[in-house]
Structures are given as C-alpha cells and as structure tokens.
Amino acid sequence: MDVKNNIILAMDVPNINDAMELMDKISDYIDTVKIGYPLVLAEGLESVSKIKKEYNCRVICDFKVADIPATNKKIADVTFQSGADAIIVHGFVGWDSVESCLESAKKVDKDIFLLTEMSHPGATNFMQPVSMNIASMGMEIGITHYVGPSTRLDRLKMIRDVVGKDSFIISPGVGVQGGDPRETLQFADAIIVGRSIYLSENPANSLESIIDAIEL
C-alpha cells in the first residue's frame, strides 16, 4: 500500500460536515484516511462511503475489532461492504478471531492491519508484554499489514524486526502524543496524524509542516 507523503489522516471528528470541510482543505496532500468510531457512531458507515467517493481516497476503518471469530467476520464483512479498503484488528483475542477478519478481507481483495501495540501510556500495562507475540502470530497466518507505536521507537523497531522489511507498518502517535514523524519513518511505512491536523486553525499549513519535517 503506497501512501501519499507517508501520512494517514486520523479522521476523529464528530460529524460528516466537519470531516468534509477538513478534507476540502487537505485532500491534495493525502490519499489515505483512517476513520474510527467517533465519526461512524455519529454518522453511520455511510460516512466511509461518502468520504471515499467524494475524495477518491483509501479508507482504513479503525475499529480495533476484538471479538469471537463469528462476530469478527460479521463486523469485517459489513465494513468492507461500506467501501473500506482495510480494517484494523486486535491481535490479543487470538489467531482464530484474526483469521476470520483476514478471510473476510481476502474475499473482496481488501486488507487487515493487525494491531500489535498502541501508542498511549497505558498500553505498557497489558499490551506491551504480548505485542511481539501478536506480531509473530500475524506473520504465521500470513498478515502483511501492521500497526505499531511512534511513541516508543524501540518497540516499533522490535516490531519491524519481527514482521520483516516486506511488511507494511502504519504508526500512530505522531504529533500531540509526542511521536516524531521523521524518526518514526525509519521503522514504519506511514505515520498516522490526527489532532495536530484537525485541531489546527490551518490544517493545510500543519500538514505542510509535517511533510517538511519528513523531507529534511
């Protein structure tokens, strides 16, 4: 998956009007958007379809799917029916739950991103001790796309070492959480940026600043 400027927008805004207004300002800079629960719970999966169609962009649905295999499959199926190109899936629930999402994705030529470790401080409590096991499991069942934290570069490097150079890693935590864009891209293929852009008075200028930091 190629990502324009190596930047994915985390579209965690509360309504479709705010989302469309933001995309009007920055769609020239990005071609991939991560949409999570805030927008979808407020506006429905139609928000995925609308943004994808209007801006001809890829959409990754950040639903952090974590249920039994049968339920995971239903969630993945309806997500891909909405037009999503990929869905983010938790790995701690085990191989069978993850494989159910992978099978759903393969049927429609889409992708899943396996979440190995999150970027917030609390992730060290329970996720960090098992994140490398999750990454290893992903490799064993044939997953090629992963999520790892920009806020802990040592951990991100370890994840890269486990999944190898041919896997595609996206990394949240750049900006407000403290992750550095250029340093993160030493180990990840794309960074995920949200609040630094959508809370900015000038989102386009903020994006340009991030691009400049990457290209230094």
Q: Set out the domains of the chain in order of their start, with CATH numbers.
A: 4-215 (3.20.20.70)
What angle, rounded to 10 degrees, do the helices at 203-215 and 16-26 form? 50
Size (the chain), residues = 216
What pLDDT does residue 62 have?
A: 98
CB-side neighbour CA atoms (13 Å) of 194? 15
Q: What CA dihedral angle connects 153, 147, 127 and 45, to 10 degrees?
A: 140
Strand 168-172 versus strand 58-65 pairing type: unpaired
Dihedrals phi, psi of 200, to nearest 5 degrees: -75, 145
Please give the positions annotated as active site.
64
Judged on CB neighbours under 10 Å (0-12, 13-18, 19+), 29 is middle
Structure-block tokens of residue 156: 């991100």
- Tens digit of pLDDT at every position of the chain (216 positions): 889 999 999 999 999 999 999 999 999 999 999 999 999 999 999 999 999 999 999 999 999 999 999 999 999 999 999 999 999 999 999 999 999 999 999 999 999 999 999 999 898 998 889 999 999 999 999 999 999 999 999 999 999 999 999 999 999 999 888 889 999 999 999 999 999 999 999 999 999 999 999 987
pLDDT computed for residue 176 by the predictor: 85
What the block records as the tokens of 191 is: 């960074």
Q: What pLDDT does 1 receive?
A: 83
Token couple for 42: 């407020």
Query: Among 204, 205, 192, which residue's Cα sits nearest to residue 21?
Result: 204
The backbone torsions φ and ψ at residue 7, rounded to the nearest 5 degrees and listed phi first, read -125, 130
| Vertex 148 angle, CA 142 and 152, to 5° | 145
Q: Whole-model pTM?
A: 0.96
Write out the two tokens for 138: 């992903």
Q: Residue holding tokens 């629960």?
A: 37
Nearest to 99 by CA among 89, 109, 85: 89
Provide the total of helices (H) and of strands (E) in the chain, helices listed first. 11, 8
Q: Can you tell me whether residue 151 is helix, strand or coil?
A: coil
